[in-house]
Amino acid sequence: MTENVPAPLPAGIRPWTVGDIPDVRRIGWETWKATYGRFIPEEDLRAYHDEHYSTEALTRNFHRASTRGCMALLRGKPVGYMIMSFDEKAGRCHVASIYVLPECQGYGLGTMLMEEAFRAAREAKYDRVWLGVMSENSPTIAWYHSLGFSFVEEAPFTMGKTTVRHFIGFRLLTQGTPPPGSPPDLNDDMTTGS
């Protein structure tokens, strides 16, 4: 008798196209509300979204040679995305945004998107990937730690009329993913907000 093991959900990633912009806007907005709505008023989120995630702004970003984007799909539907950029002058590449719809989190899509960022950065000969995260977003800070990120800088981040603390960190591409249960990095005092 065959055991009744649930089949894995069909999940995957692919490069974004200009036709994905409405989905990027929708996924971004829904995930922002769920993630940041606890500590940033919706009107401030809306002001920032309208300015930086308008169709026009995303279309400009899409056409920049220094930008890459990737969609995450669950059962063929876009449910997440990652946008990264390469700053050749500064010699830095960074993940500018990575979002998976709340109901689709925990299926491995975020990891797939991040691994694609690592792959693209290695291909472009960068030795690390940078990103920023709000200090209040502790589940995601823990997730970044589990992927091997260390946070080394802090800067204010303003959305509308609200300013929050923003941790900035990197993940070396020469290292492997740390095993589960690894101790936090030396900068943990920064990332626990203490």
Ligand X SMILES: CC(C)(COP(=O)(O)OP(=O)(O)OC[C@H]1O[C@@H](n2cnc3c(N)ncnc32)[C@H](O)[C@@H]1OP(=O)(O)O)[C@@H](O)C(=O)NCCC(=O)NCCS
Closest CA to 81 of 42, 34, 31, 35: 31
Return the number of the residue (2 or 10) whose C-beta is nearest ligand X.
10
Binding residue for ligand X, selected from 24, 31, 69, 126, defined by CB under 6 A? 31
Query: Binding of ligand X at residue 177 (CB under 6 A)?
Result: no
Query: Parallel, antiparallel, or unpaired for β 67-74 and 162-172?
Result: unpaired
Query: Binding of ligand X at residue 35 (CB under 6 A)?
Result: yes
Binding residue for ligand X, selected from 110, 129, 157, 169, defined by CB under 6 A? 110
| Strand boundaries in the chain, DSSP class E | 11-15, 67-74, 77-87, 92-100, 128-134, 150-159, 162-172
> CB of residue 38 vs ligand X: minimum separation in angstroms?
11
Return the number of the residue (76 or 139) whose C-beta is nearest ligand X.
139
> CB of residue 87 vs ligand X: minimum separation in angstroms?
18
The Cα–Cα gap between 127 and 142 comes to 22
Query: Binding of ligand X at residue 84 (CB under 6 A)?
Result: no
Binding residue for ligand X, selected from 67, 85, 146, 177, defined by CB under 6 A? 146
* Residue number of the CB atom closest to ligand X: 110
Return the number of the residue (126 or 191) whose C-beta is nearest ligand X.
191
Tokens standing for 11? Answer: 């999940």
Query: Binding of ligand X at residue 137 (CB under 6 A)?
Result: yes
The Cα–Cα gap between 39 and 21 comes to 26
Nearest-Å Rg of the Cα atoms of the chain is 17
The Cα–Cα gap between 72 and 145 comes to 21
Tokens standing for 91? Answer: 């010699």
Query: Binding of ligand X at residue 191 (CB under 6 A)?
Result: no
Positions in the binding site for ligand X (CB under 6 A):
31, 35, 98-100, 105-111, 133, 137, 139-140, 142-143, 146
